[in-house]
Amino acid sequence: MSRTSIRALTAFLILAAAAIGCGTGGGGGLSGGPSANVNIGVEPNHIDSGDRTEVAVQIASVREDAVAIKIRFPLGLSYVTGTAYYLIDGIEVVSNPTENESDSTHTYLVFYLTAEGLGHSGSGTLFMTLEGVSDVTDDVIEVDVDLDDPTENNRTEFDISDPQFDAQDQDSIRVGSGSSSSTSSSSSSSGA
């Protein structure tokens, strides 16, 4: 089985498990609804420091010309540079976050994507790897999709002091503290 097939199967399994309790609430669209439908899955979601977990964000029904995909996770995790890519119409497209910034409690990764970038299917999955760097007790990895302001340079559009983050979906994560389970459970939260 090819790497792409394995990744697609992994994404399907993660997102199928996540879809049971997922939502697509949140804000950011011009019409007042979400800018896109998103589901997030984390596997495994219980790791030790030094171990890695894969995050898959399924994106569909983009309602804007371009969107900002924001991922938020606790400081006990770190993005593994060079691991992010989209799987769109069966093709892997390497991507890097435009922003990788932290405040006192969270790290934010921000990716920008055009609706055209989702290919013929109009949907895709963003994959990335995070590494446990310190203990995290029962927290979440979240996703929010907002309008990409065409009048603002993407390098300056995101402001860590005002991240404008309203989680559309989340999945649990724990680092250390006797982590031994690799089950995944997703729950939904909606923002303004």
What does the pLDDT read at residue 189?
A: 43
Task: Say yes or no to pLDDT of 180 above 50.
Answer: no
Amino acid code (one letter) for 101: E
Show the tokens assigned to 93.
Answer: 């497209």
Is residue 25 within 8 A of residue 188, CB to CB? The reply is yes
Q: Provide φ and ψ at 126, rounded to 5°.
A: -100, 125
Q: Given a cut of 70, is residue 5 above it in pLDDT? A: no
Regarding beta strands 46-47 and 169-175, do their DSSP bridges make them parallel or antiparallel, or are they unpaired?
Answer: parallel
Distance CA 72, CA 153 (A): 21
Identify the domain containing residue 34 by its residue range: 3-173
The verdict on residue 190 lying in a domain is no
Q: CA 114 to CA 55: how far, in whole Å?
A: 21
Task: Report yes or no on 147 lying in a domain.
Answer: yes
Residue 166 is assigned to a structural domain of this protein:
yes
Average pLDDT of the segment spanning 77-103: 97
Most confident of 16-25, 104-113, 177-186: 104-113
**CB-based burial label for 119 (10 Å; 0-12, 13-18, 19+):** middle
Residue 32: band (very low, low, confident or very high) from pLDDT cuts 50, 70, 90: low
**153 part of a folded domain:** yes
Is 85 a domain residue?
Answer: yes
- Domain assignment present for residue 72? The answer is yes
**H/E stretch holding 123:** strand 123-132
Model confidence at 184, pLDDT cuts 50, 70, 90, reads very low
Does position 178 have pLDDT exceeding 80, yes or no? no
* pLDDT exceeds 90 at position 41: yes
- Is residue 157 one of the residues assigned to a domain? yes
Banded pLDDT at 34 (limits 50, 70, 90): confident
Length of the chain: 192
Question: Residue 52's domain is classified under what CATH number?
Answer: 2.60.40
Indicate if the pLDDT at residue 23 is higher than 70.
Answer: no
98 in a structural domain: yes
- Count of domains for the chain: 1
- Which span out of 59-63, 142-146, 173-177, 181-185 was modeled with the highest average pLDDT? 142-146
Q: Structure pTM?
A: 0.78
